[in-house]
Amino acid sequence: MSDPSGDRPPPYARPPAVQPSVAQPSVAQPTGGDDAARSAVLALRDEVGKVVVGQDAVLSGLVAALLVRGHVLLEGVPGVAKTLLVKTLARALSVDFSRVQFTPDLMPSDVTGQLVLDPEGGGRFRFREGPIFTNLFLADEINRTPPKTQSALLEAMEERQVSAEGAARALPDPFLVIATQNPVEQEGTYPLPEAQLDRFMFKLVVGYPSFEQETEVLARHHRGLDPHDLDAAGVRPVATPADLAAGRSAVDRVVVEPDVLGYIVAVCRATRDAPSVELGVSPRGATALLHAAKAWAWLSGSPYVRPDEVKAMAKAVLRHRLVVRPELELEGVTSDGVLDNVLATVPTPR
């Protein structure tokens, strides 16, 4: 799996026994055990790769998020396959998927659902579930809708439920919110507040493909690929929610030594002391980095977390939890740059 930070190779080579291959039917139907679950989860990369080219790092982050029940914010310019990536992942994982285009006139009830009059219920009202009652929920261009509608996601993301008329309704399991936003356009957008950003475990940057990858995209289209027809593209389920559940149990068992726990805390505390930072990483961010590093270790085939896993996941987990001082942001200082400096200066345990 490619490093979600996009600038570091995977910390460990995967054992040959768990190399995913779409040519192996046993990958789609694992027989049990940690290796079988890992094989099924890793096979998602190859299956999604039938349609999406050049986004392995982003897919790695999405898979890790599924394993730790973390929500994801995807940031990238239009046309880099953000929506297609999530839609294809849902097909390969055999889960329900819904997409809502967030617009300035979108109401909270358009997302969560509302009470409607039941014509066959004797004048009674019933709750009609909104599109958020799904497994993978794509909030497309989330920063184009006002804060009131953005905040409608907070309960769903934190409590995994929707409350209406005093009743709480549980969301399906697995449940993952994946939101997209355009980093270029500012007019007509409503930037996400820190409280909303903090609900996302990962912020993944979806960049342009390389020259070779973009050439491959064109070649596939020239051969007749229709990205909207996943059946014709040969995308099939290779993992199931049961595989995710098995993977989560295995991730929980990954060992984290005290010195690595201390390293995670030191990295997060260093962001609070950085002179270019107005708001550093909270304890919630440190906890998220711990879980992400455990997931990355398990995906890499390691039974314990090393500092390399922490470094590999640091940008994806922490970049949106930092607030750079406005005057320095105007000079080009970025949260990624701050994290690069922190990771370079905080002593690494041996």
pLDDT tens digits, residue range 136-169?
A: 999 999 988 888 888 888 889 999 999 877 788 9
Dihedrals φ, ψ of 256, to 5°?
-125, 115
- Residue 24 CA to residue 271 CA, distance in Å, equals 45
Q: Which of 134-138, 181-185, 318-322 has the lowest mean pLDDT?
A: 181-185
Q: List, in sequence order, the alpha helices (H) in the chain.
A: 25-28, 34-48, 56-68, 82-93, 108-112, 147-150, 152-159, 194-197, 211-222, 241-252, 258-273, 283-299, 307-318, 326-329, 335-345
pLDDT tens digits, residue range 9-19?
A: 443 333 323 22
Q: Does 50 have pLDDT greater than 60?
A: yes
* DSSP character at residue 255: B
Q: Does 331 have pLDDT greater than 60?
A: yes
The domains of the chain are located at 254-350
SS3 103: coil
Burial per residue of 304-324, b for 16 or more beta-carbon CB atoms within 10 angstroms, e otherwise:
ebbbbbbbbbbbbbbbbbbeb
**Residue 33 pLDDT grade (very low, low, confident, very high; cuts 50, 70, 90):** low
Q: Does 220 have pLDDT greater than 50?
A: yes
**Residue 6 pLDDT grade (very low, low, confident, very high; cuts 50, 70, 90):** low
Is 222 exposed, middle or buried, given 0-12, 13-18 or 19+ CB atoms closer than 10 A? exposed
Q: So what's the pLDDT on residue 26?
A: 28
Report the CATH number of the 254-350 domain. Answer: 1.10.8.80
Mean pLDDT of the chain: 86
Q: Does 235 have pLDDT greater than 50?
A: yes
Q: Which of 7-16, 78-87, 106-115 has the lowest mean pLDDT?
A: 7-16
Query: Is the sign of the CA dihedral 51, 53, 56, 59 positive or negative?
Result: negative
Q: So what's the pLDDT on residue 174?
A: 92
pLDDT tens digits, residue range 258-312?
A: 999 999 999 999 999 999 999 999 999 999 999 999 999 999 999 999 999 999 9
- Residue 191 CA to residue 175 CA, distance in Å, equals 24
pLDDT: which is higher, 232 or 20: 232
The two three-digit tokens of residue 238, written as one number? 């290779």
Q: Looking at the DSSP assignment, which residues form a beta bridge with residue 127?
A: 115
Residue pair 93/237 in contact by the 8 Å Cβ criterion: yes
Q: So what's the pLDDT on residue 186?
A: 60
Q: How many CA atoms lie within 13 A of 139 on its CB side?
A: 32
Residues 6+ apart with CB under 8 A from 330: none
